[in-house]
Structure 1
Amino acid sequence: MRAWQVGTPGPLESGPLEFIEKPMPVPGPGEVLVRVLTCGVCRTDLHVAEGDLPVHRQHVTPGHEIVGQVVGAGPGAERFVLGERVGIPWLRRTCGVCRHCRSGRENLCRRSQYTGWDADGGYAEYTTAPEGFAYRLPEGFDDATAAPLLCAGIIGYRALRRANVPPGGVLGLYGFGGSAHLTAQVALAQGIEVHVLTRGEQARGFALQLGCASAGDAREMPPVALDSAIIFAPAGDIVPYALAALAYGGTLACAGIHMSDIPVLDYQQHVFHEKTLTSVESNTRRDGEEFLTLAARLGLHPTTHEYPLEQADRALGYLARGDIEGAGVLRVADPA
């Protein structure tokens, strides 16, 4: 099969991604073999390719927003029937027995594994996944629009919950890519006033089209004090700006798996008045099920831009430069 792999992690300009031919994977016990139809292009894939995240699997195939058809099953896998459409997300496996798993916080499991980092992902024609961590997808979303729901959407949903926005409150979104544009739609549907702060002029215009109240630069103060804020951009130097923009008692959630260093904070300006700074680590399967149900009920409209599988490196380059409005998606195959 055709697939991408990370050779030597490094800047995209150095060519860390390699387009190769490799054997089809074989599903293990409890796993399904999936023919990939589409795969979203996520910033975490960029972190894996460029080495921002440590190598967990040599020559890994990235991609963890996978929509595909079940074409095979390993021993004991009975949840899906052949031909059924499934979604494969970032969270691939947890231990199921640690204190975090047993308390409903499986996203904090120290033995968790991740698609496209610990195991080969969806920048390929076929992949495998444990059937207990795959999702049935709402019928209202086609293969391209369903893909970004599986990470950008789910992580944005968890970040929104972690941000503790009060009913009818004011939310700031720092960065406006695949995850933020879905989070904004959920927040707007809930009656929340949304202000976007991002570097890209095109992204600001896109935010205003979606109904956000304002769109400005990430290093400027928003027009009103924020009850809550979420940082999607992997830039730690934004944290002081976002904290300074919070109203008393506000919450800032950092949604990325990787972020550059946060500068020294001034206690009075950034932290005092009972402000909260929190992070978001992956998600639970319950988060995913809740979000997919909500996405179908709200009729979310992910904005996507398709690229053929062989242009995955180019799509990641657009993402790195902030040139993608919405979410990039690789078109790998059409339904059989």
Structure 2
Amino acid sequence: MTAALPTRDAIVATAQESIARGSKSFAAASKLFNRPTRERAWLLYAWCRACDDIADGQDHGHGMSVVADAPERLVRVRAMTEAALAGEWVGDPAFDALRIVAAETCLPHGFARDLIEGFALDARDWRPRSEADLYKYCYHVAGVVGCMMAVIMGVSPDDEATLDRACDLGMAFQLANIARDIEEDDRVGRCYVPEEWLVEMDMPPGQHMKPPFRSRLAILTQRLADRAAAFEASARIGTTRLDLRSAWAVLAAAGIYGAIGRAVAARGEHAWDHRVTTSTSAKIGFISRALGEALRRRALYPPVPRDPALWTRPRR
């Protein structure tokens, strides 16, 4: 007798568990969506998390390690992703989560493939040389997730202006992540601070975490935080195109993650003594303030043109 396939509810429940384990910040913000959007956000997160875990040998974002078979892992991720996008039953809850959410939202398949390209950069031991390279990486691993989330929230795939703002929020999140995780990345031989920035500060490649260079690295961390803040400010303007609950969730996430980047920068050369996190009470505070922002978003964030100086995602 053939075993019954998992139901949508079962896959949603597994996805909810994944976000609870992988990101307390995103889990908290996701609860502010209406139920259909909330469930689809969990489904998308589960797939993104699984791809990242497979690529980096992690468990829900924890315990990143050096993997010897990165190209083979990437082949596996691509194959399961393509099966999910084709509407096939994959047999892995995270990839079946993508199958469900892609079908329900008409998610552009190119966005999912763009995320995989971010893992491909890591698989070939890629490093950003310039600031433009840094933004390219941030787009592929996070900015495009902002685009996919916007589609899940009801934004048309043809609404390029709103998708740009959604991408901006993902860019802000990733820049904050890079600043926070410099020491963790260094332990596995990675560095996402552009080589040109390190040269500017007279820091030899691979030596940036050494004590003599901490004060110079703190300057670059502040630069990352400033860049993140610019993208975050742009993203907030895009919330006027969302329904109230979606805007509330986005603004809460922006507040929570924005605080991480600012905290890393404020700690200076001690930023990596302990991992920067946001307490439960602080999350509650950001969620509360975000509701007020969401209610007044059209007054707080008038629809001014996007800053032309900001990096812009690639068009298809």
Specify which structure has the higher proportion of strand.
1
**TM-score, scaled to structure 2:** 0.29
Q: TM-score, normalised by structure 1?
A: 0.28
The structure in which a higher percent of residues are helix is 2
